[in-house]
Structure 1
Amino acid sequence: MIETKHVSDFYLGNHGNFDCLVLSVLQELSDCYPHIRYTIVLAYLPTPGKNFDPHSLLPEEVEKSPPRFAVCQRNRWMIEHADWIVAYVVHSWGGAAQFVRVARRKGKSVLMLPSPVDPRRAGAL
């Protein structure tokens, strides 16, 4: 996407293995493509005493949302601010699948990475 779509700005979450993998890939790619930028979009204020990553952002509307809804609000913020969505969905239910459904309803281009989703359920996304 960096070379063919000229994508240079990336937003990612910080919950789960996929987010960790994406962060490590983007850190590695930034050596080869110094023009790319990545931002870790937080759902919660960082814990006191932890280092705040300079690549992190806590959007105001996410900070103001009740903690129970913070991840969903953060995901909506990322959808609103992104042109492309790259997703890895293991189940047709849950947060990742819901994220993809919302992105598609908003007319975003979604790139689905191959996953072990049951092909009979993949159409539900």
Structure 2
Amino acid sequence: MRDKTCCFTGHRTLPQNERSEVQARLYIVLQKLIEKGIQYFGSGGAMGFDLLAAEVVLELRKRYPHIRLIMVLPYENQERGWDEEEVRRYHTILEQANKVVYLQREYRCGCMLRRNRYLVDNSRGCVAYCTRVFGGTAYTVNYAKRVGIPILYI
């Protein structure tokens, strides 16, 4: 399954003026990956890029019914404290996902990085929206590079 899986990593905040462009690029990149045999897409379910990427996968699933969205979540109820609109989006995505994996029950220090490593370790490639050299997204991109996972930048 790993050889047919791609994961996502990206920032939690997407500038509003870039959202449409990022979404359009995601459509193009994901369609090419699907045509090359990728069937499984792993999303960490964080606000921002993760949720946008999951929504694009769900939209593409209408055209490519064989593809699967796997939500790999760091812990249960990670959406606690999010604003109402983001919580609604999150639950809509979870309801439509083919599989939801919780890596642990409760928040613990390091659980987000553990989730990111899990996504990379179980993927053949990584689609990234990374505009900074620090933080969780940069860590995940660098980890993917270290373990030899190709990165497609959006």
- Normalising by structure 2, what TM-score? 0.63
The correspondence for 1:83, drawn from 124, 129, 143, is: 124
Q: Match of 1:15, SS?
A: coil
Residue 65 of structure 1 deviates from its aligned partner by 8.3
Give the aligned residue type for 1:100. V
Q: Which has the higher contact order (CA 8 A, sep 6+)?
A: 2
State the alpha-carbon separation in 1 of the partners of residues 100 and 74 from structure 2: 10
Give the aligned residue type for 1:37. R
State the alpha-carbon separation in 1 of the partners of residues 105 and 44 from structure 2: 18
Please list every run of at least 4 consecutive aligned residues from structure 1 whose deviation after the TM superposition is greater than 4 angstroms: none
Q: Please, which moves more after superposition, 64-73 or 5-14? A: 64-73
State the alpha-carbon separation in 1 of the partners of residues 136 and 147 from structure 2: 16
Q: Match of 1:104, SS?
A: helix
- Deviation sequence 1:34-75 (CA, Å, 0-9, x none): 00001110001137xx9664531113xxx1786111111011
Q: Match of 2:62, SS?
A: helix
Matching residue of 1:15: 46
The correspondence for 2:101, drawn from 57, 67, 70, is: 57
Q: Match of 2:131, SS?
A: coil
Matching residue of 2:149: 108
Matching residue of 2:25: none
Larger Rg: 1
Q: More helix per residue: 1 or 2?
A: 2
- Normalising by structure 1, what TM-score? 0.77
Structure 2 runs not aligned, ≥5 long: 1-32, 79-86
State the alpha-carbon separation in 1 of the partners of residues 106 and 148 from structure 2: 25
Sequence identity of aligned pairs in percent? 31
RMSD between aligned residues:
2.0
Q: Match of 2:112, SS?
A: helix
On the 8 A contact 1:65/1:73 being kept in 2, the answer is no
Count residues with an aligned counterpart. Answer: 107
